[in-house]
Amino acid sequence: MTELVPSPVEPKAIGTALPRVDGVEKVTGRAAYAVEHPVDRPLFAWLVTSTVARGRVVAVDRSEALAHPGVVSVVDHTDAPRLAQTDNGELAILQDDAVGFRGQIVAVVLAESSEAAREGARLVRVEQEAEPFEAELREDNASYRPEKVNPAMETDTDQGDVDTALGTATTVLEQTYRTPYEHNNPLEPHATTAWWSEEDGRERLTLFDSSQGVHGVATALAPMLGIDREQIRVMAPFVGGGFGSKGEAHAHVMAAALAARTTGGRPVRLAVTRQQMFSLTGYRTATISKFRLGTDDDGRLTAIEHRVQEQTSRLREFAEQTASPTRMMYAAPNRRTSHRLAVLDVAVPSWMRAPGEMPGMFAHEVAMDELAEACGLDPVELRRRNDPDVDPEEGLPFDRRGLVECLDRGAERFGWASRPRAPRSTADGEWWVGTGVASATYPAMRQPGNVARVESTDTGFAVSIGAVDIGTGARTALTQIAADALGVGTDDIDLRLGDTALPMASVAGGSSGTSSWGSAIVAAAQQFLADHGDRPDPGLWTEASALRGDEADRFSFHSFGAVFAEVHVHRYTGELRVPRMLGVYSVGRVVNPTTARSQLVGGLVMGMSAALFEESVRDPRFGHVVTQDLATYHVAAHADVAGIEAEWLDESTTTFTPMGSRGIGEIGIVGTAAAVANAAYHATGVRVRDLPLTADAFLE
Amino acid sequence: MRELAYLRPSDPADAVSLVANDPDARFLGGGTNLVDHLKLGVATPGTLVDVSHLPLDALEEHDGGLLVGANVRNSDLAADRRVRTGWPVLSRALLSGASGQIRNQATTAGNLLQRTRCVYFLDVTTPCNKREPGSGCSAAEGYGRYNAILGAGPACVTVHPSDLAVGLVAVDATVVVLGPDGERRVPAADLHRLPGDDAARDTVLGHGELITAVELPRSAHARTSTYVKVRDRASFAFALVSVAVAIDRAEDGTVRDLRIVWGGVAHKPWRATRAEDALRGRPLTEAGVRDAAEAELDQARPTAGTEYKPAMVRNATALAFRRLVPDLAEEAR
Ligand SMILES: Cc1cc2nc3c(=O)[nH]c(=O)nc-3n(C[C@H](O)[C@H](O)[C@H](O)COP(=O)(O)OP(=O)(O)OC[C@H]3O[C@@H](n4cnc5c(N)ncnc54)[C@H](O)[C@@H]3O)c2cc1C
Ligand code: SF4
């Protein structure tokens, strides 16, 4: 394997709207998902989960379940295969009698059919002893300072002297903003097929898993199962969405792997139900953001303070980096951020689209709207005035700071100039009408350790990387990148993904996929051409990894955007509707406008959905989320999505990747809820600082 | 797999006796509600008696009104031209509910007998008097946003979810029921009941009583009727509150007769008789409508999570009147 710094690629296929290369397979139902792959004599698994939030399992009575026709076995903590490592409290299931949250896996039923397994699970009697627990996030929970916040950022930052600056500021804004628990809810629920076999005298575990990163699953499971990474093969040829919830293996994957170890080689199919997803597959923590902002006479920020209170699970720490965007967003000499976590007896939180940026920028951008009003400035102008020359945290110049361009172009396209400054100025029939704006940002990330393989074939090139297309269009975009890097047409590329038998790839997360995998593919393609020339015989191959130069020491890399929303609030019922939204983005070169638009518009829809609907209601008396289906956990329906448009600046950033791209998966959700909240305020004069914005808040 | 018997009688009387004689049997209509409950373990019948194939799908003139067979699908009822002109509140109520796919599958009877969407009712790991009498009511001090504000408790604080049921009360519909002892007619207004100390029973029907039809009498107020449903999402959501209004006005604009029925506020469609009385025989003003709603809401007992409902239902009532009476909208300008 060679490591090299790839040189920029001349875009030909890149930038074109190549239709999804797997579109036909998907719409004709030929694409197989995790529990659809034909396997030999599968057993079906159903999870039995705890009904206390903290305590222990006293006894598991399997007799009724085992007597049920079709049920083959029940695995619980008394007889589940032992794990070699148990420090990951989320994955170390069925190892002892402790219960850490309501909804935790306490037994697995295996049966000849999914129906028998489900009924078997109902018939398992689990006697549990309940202990006192805490499951409510409040402002005054006992909390601690985590060592780092996701993924490995400083927990707190402090520059200058915030308190003194606030003491002398012309305008001071001090407010608290809250976001609720939210669940990712991809279309395809989490699912795994697992079986153990023997090869050359060694155990081997094979999984089809609905995952955002097959290599990550293998890396997480192997040491726990006491086997080498090479003994696990994980495949995810097609995945029906993830939004971060499939970024890491969750407990059900371990449940399938453990259960499959007891079947003498028969494969185990495990599909998580929608209800179980609300306990088992990750979610966004609720957040409480306390903001203090101070400005001088001209509305220039002199102090920014963002203190965050959120929660983690007792079983495993996850610290959402809610204040991280505040560190680089606007200029101000005095700045302080902090994160504190309450430890609750609840399910384990995890990544959900734009962890950190989504809740943090909701708070920051509503605060900016309030500040604009307090300063008597137009909200776009306030942001323009506070646009920094260099990254305020790192002191490095931005490779590209496209925020003001996005704001200006968006303002023009949206018709911002004709907007009345005062709230509650426009009524249209039964509706109050308002418009709002918010900024968006997302860091540009390129993960190390990606390797791609290019092989010449009879028909062109096979290009392999063990990355996963979770529905974003990665397979299509990477085909375009490979074609340009090799100087051939997209038809000549046979792209292979989603398998740990293919070279190492990082997770589809952090909007880093195209940048990370694409750079590796470019490196491998360029090395291949150097090794074998551009008219190679079939059967030659090269594996390579993309190194980065010193650009990360010279520049700060971020994407930016501006979101504009028009909100109508019904004067009688308080109902909110969003007839119009526009997002304008600076995201580097767009590899495929069709799939890119779908990511950006999808992000805008999800942000609007978070603004108006999404809330996982945790009942602190029980400890679990009680709105655990899609009838009670509302996501935007078709009728809620009206005129949503996304566009982007024509740009390229080859200092960051050889393709000139920066990543687009997450930025669409960032700031969007704030734009909606700000527009609702402009419509009605009612300022809501807690998501979601529901009709009752606007009733008159 | 839980085995259950699936029977498909061809005669309504057979269907009735199959269920009446088996405490473990249940009627199955379109299945959009009951099948969910089977999966969740909320309902555990031993026998399903499929009534969706019984010849109960008439939608025809009858006795000066319209006869709606129990098996008429929600989408067909909503689209019928006679319904849209003679009982518009029903079309609007139906179309405001569920989704196109579900309305295609759901039956008239099944819609009326759908069960609460209370999150604790649907979660077999939490106490619920309706699902398991005597176990307690988790909603009373729990997630309360959808709870009742009128006629609640002590056993149960949930609301009835059907939009159609609210509309039917506003047009004086009658539900035709076939039981082991023959046929009886139940006014739509009396079909659902308040919980009192028996949360398990949603309606006055006994086990084995089959709804065969709904009769819609023609009336002047039914012809001028509408439905306002307030919800977070623009579609595919149950009501926070809803209002069915039907009015008949004299030449001079005074109210000859009217119906005001509220959904999302009680264990049954709530006929706001005090509000009706306050408006009957008078000319209409928006302020008058709001006052009338307030008079009804004197009895409301909002709890944590439902503080917003009185104002919302009052405003929605005013909105429904505006939609029906153009001069009210004029007056407000
Ligand atoms: C996601 C979703 C959203 C929804 N949104 C709404 C909404 O906004 N508004 C709304 O009003 N509804 C809504 N519904 C509910 C929907 O209207 C009902 O599920 C449907 O009307 C039930 O009709 P069905 O024929 O499928 O009933 P089934 O599920 O077959 O039966 C329901 C009940 O009626 C009984 N039953 C059926 N037929 C008869 C009969 N002839 N005589 C006696 N008993 C009988 C059954 O035993 C069962 O108890 C929604 C449903 C879903 C799934
Ligand atoms: S409100 Fe009624 S349905 Fe809900 S938990 Fe209480 S008893 Fe059950």
Give me the CATH number covering residue A466. Answer: 3.30.365.10
- Under an 8 A CB cutoff, do A637 and B308 touch? no
Could A626 and B125 be called an inter-chain contact, meaning their C-beta atoms sit closer than 8 Å?
A: no
Please indicate, yes or no, if residue A132 is contained in any of the structural domains: no
Q: What is the pLDDT of residue B331?
A: 57
Number of domains in chain A: 2
A418 is a domain residue: yes
Answer whether residue B329 shows pLDDT above 80: no
Q: What is the mean pLDDT of residues B9-28?
A: 98
Q: Which residues of chain A have a Cβ shorter than 8 Å from any chain B Cβ?
A: 51, 69-70, 102, 113, 115-116, 118-119, 122, 275, 430, 572-575, 577, 612-613, 617, 619, 621-622, 626-629, 631-632, 634, 636-640, 692, 694-696, 699-700
Where in the sequence is the domain holding A637, given as residue range(s)? Answer: 377-446+552-700
The three state secondary structure string of B28-77 is ECCCCCHHHHHHHCCCCCCEEEECCCCCCCCEEEECCEEEEECCCEHHHH
Check residue A344 and give its pLDDT. Answer: 98
Distance from CA of A56 to the nearest CA of B (A): 17
* Whether A613 and A632 share a structural domain: yes
Q: Which helix (H) or strand (E) holds A194?
A: strand A191-199
Q: How far apart are CA A227 and CA A95, in angstroms?
A: 17
Question: Which residues of chain A lie closer than 8 angstroms to B228, CB-CB?
Answer: 573
With a cut of 60, say whether residue B332 has pLDDT above it.
no
Of A517, A547, A577, which residue constitutes the final position of a domain? A547
Ligand 2-lining residues (CB < 6 angstroms): B 116, 118, 120-121, 128-130, 137-139, 156-158, 199
Contacts of A63 (CB under 8 A, 6+ apart): none
* Most distant pair of Cα atoms in chain B: their distance: 66
State chain B's mean pLDDT as an integer.
Answer: 96
Distance of alpha carbon A86 from alpha carbon A76, whole angstroms? 16
| pLDDT (mean) for B140-161 | 96
Q: Which of A461, A404, A528, A477 is nearest to A660 (CA)?
A: A477
Global pTM value: 0.97
Tokens of A402: 């496209």
Domain boundary among A547, A568, A591: A547
DSSP one-letter string for A290-356: EEEEEE-TTS-EEEEEEEEEEEEESSS-----TTTGGGTSS--SEEEEEEEEEEESSPPP---SSTT
Over its C-alpha atoms, chain B yields an Rg (Å, rounded) of 20
**Closest listed residue to residue A603, CA positions, set A512, A520, A522, A666:** A666
Identify whether A90 is a catalytic site residue.
no
Same structural domain for residues A461 and A395?
A: no
Q: Are residues A543 and A591 in the same domain?
A: no
**Strand boundaries in A527-606, DSSP class E:** 541-546, 558-570, 576-586
Higher pLDDT, B333 or B151: B151
**Alpha-carbon gap: B258 to the closest alpha carbon of chain A (Å):** 21
Instruction: Choose which residue among B40, B128, B132, B201 to substitute to test ligand 2 binding: the one with the highest number of ligand atoms within 8 A of its C-beta.
Output: B128
pLDDT > 90 fraction of chain B, expressed in percent and rounded: 96
> Is residue B326 very low, low, confident or very high in pLDDT (cuts 50, 70, 90)?
confident
Asked, as a colleague might, if the bond just before B154 is cis with ω within 30 of 0, I would say: yes
Residue A513 forms part of a structural domain: yes
Say yes or no: A405 and A439 in one domain. Answer: yes
A342 CA from centroid of ligand 1 (Å) = 42
Whether A482 and A528 map to the same domain: the answer is yes
Query: What ipTM was assigned to the predicted interfaces of this complex?
Result: 0.96
Tokens of A533: 């020339």
pLDDT band at B35 (very low <50, low <70, confident <90, very high): very high
Over the stretch A115-126, which tens digit does the pLDDT of each residue have?
A: 999 999 999 999
Determine the pLDDT at residue B153: 85
In-domain check, residue A524: yes
Length of chain B: 333
Q: Is there a single domain that holds both residue A437 and residue A515? A: no
Residue A567 and residue A597 in one domain: yes
Query: What is d(CA A279, CA A650) in angstroms, rounded to the nearest whole number?
Result: 42
Tell me whether strands A493-496 and A461-464 are parallel, antiparallel or unpaired: parallel
Residues of B in contact with A696 (CB under 8 A): 240, 307-308, 312
**Across B107-120, average pLDDT:** 98
Residues 6+ apart with CB under 8 A from A501: A233, A235, A466
Predicted confidence (pLDDT) per residue in A361-420, tens digit: 999 999 999 999 999 999 999 999 999 999 999 999 999 999 999 999 999 999 999 999
Residue A687 in domain: yes
> Of the residues A505, A520, A547, which one is the last residue of a structural domain?
A547
Q: Does the beta-carbon distance from B233 to A572 stay under 8 Å? A: no
The ranges assigned to domains in chain B are 222-324
- Among all residues of chain B, which has the CA nearest to that of A121? B1
Considering the domain architecture, whether residues A507 and A642 belong to the same structural domain is answered as no
Atom of ligand 2 nearest to the CA of B148: 1
Residues A542 and A578 in one domain: no
Task: Tell whether the model's pLDDT for residue B295 goes beyond 50.
Answer: yes
Instruction: Check CB contact under 8 Å for B1 and A573.
Output: no
Confidence tier at B333 by pLDDT (50, 70, 90): very low
Stretches where chain A sits below pLDDT 70 are none
Assigned domain for A650 exists = yes
Beta strands A541-546 and A71-76, pairing class: unpaired
Ligand 1, atom 14, residue with closest C-alpha: B98
* B222-324, CATH topology level: Enolase-like; domain 1 (3.30.390)
